[in-house]
Amino acid sequence: MVELKTDRSIDEMRAAGRVVAHALAAVRESARVGVSLQELDRVARAVLREAGASSPFLGYRPHFAPVPFPGVICASVNDAIVHGVPGGYRLRDGDLVSIDCGAKLGGWVGDAAVSFTVGRARPADLRLIQAAEAALAAGIAAAVPGNRIGDIAHAIGTVCRGAGYGIPDGFGGHGVGRAMHEDPGVPNEGPPGRGMRLRPGMVLAIEPMLIAGGTDDYACDGDGWTLRTVDGSRAAHAEHTVAITADGPRILTAL
């Protein structure tokens, strides 16, 4: 079931989204060579705490997970695609880092992700990140009333495949609202003109995930959470929470 949010509710979701934006900005600013993923998690926790927000990630345990998620951010490095556990790994020169963060404030959730490099960047990593951001922008541009979920999926997939990158099978975006994961699902690839029609009041997390090697294969680490590329190539992830409005898409997790 899809809940259509009122204008007031979307404004309240924007407040939660702003917390996410500030948390991601603080983490990115703190991400330097030698800093651990646990330290980055503590940076995000401090932002959430100061804003009076809670984390929809911390303690989250879907059916596939052997243990509840232990952090407020997902920190995925290099060949980790998504859901990386923020542990003791210390960032190294040239690492590609994807950070996913959520916040719950006033009963509403915001969810976003960003990818960036630490130290001296590889040109191939910068191209991968640029493609992830372009795919996200294309998906957001298609998020208008009258279009369908498939139009978002097609826009994202066209950018990803056109650049020669893989898309992890079975993972994509989702509805957002009172809970972090709501209906409908938002695939990162598919035919246009298919799926649920977009209506004002729908709020979606649009989140392309790209695999540099061009394959769609992934495997899960022993922690039960971290998804990695099978071929060892690097991955990037970009995400915003977006409201469908009569005036066009409204990004709720932008600074």
- What is the rounded average pLDDT for all residues in the chain? 98
Per-residue pLDDT tens digits for 69-92: 999 999 999 999 999 999 999 999
pLDDT of residue 153: 98
Q: Is 64 left (phi over 0), alpha (psi -120 to 50) or beta?
A: alpha
Distance of alpha carbon 104 from its chain centroid, rounded?
Answer: 15
Counting residues of the chain whose pLDDT is more than 70, the rounded percentage is 100
CB 252 within 8 A of CB 239: no
Per-residue pLDDT tens digits for 86-115: 999 999 999 999 999 999 999 999 999 999
- In order, the DSSP letters of 119-170 are SSPPHHHHHHHHHHHHHHHHHHHT-STT-BHHHHHHHHHHHHHHTT-B--TT
CB 122 within 8 A of CB 97: no
Task: Indicate whether 68 pLDDT > 90.
Answer: yes
CA distance 173 to 148: 14
Alpha-carbon torsion (45, 220, 218, 179), positive or negative: negative
Task: Indicate whether 3 pLDDT > 90.
Answer: yes
pLDDT of residue 94: 98
Prior bond of 184 cis (ω within 30°)? yes
Question: Encoding tokens for residue 129?
Answer: 């990140």
Rounded to 10 degrees, the C-alpha dihedral 142/139/249/177 comes to 120
pLDDT of residue 223: 96
Task: Indicate whether 64 pLDDT > 90.
Answer: no
pLDDT of residue 137: 98
Per-residue pLDDT tens digits for 217-250: 999 999 999 999 999 999 999 999 999 999 999 9
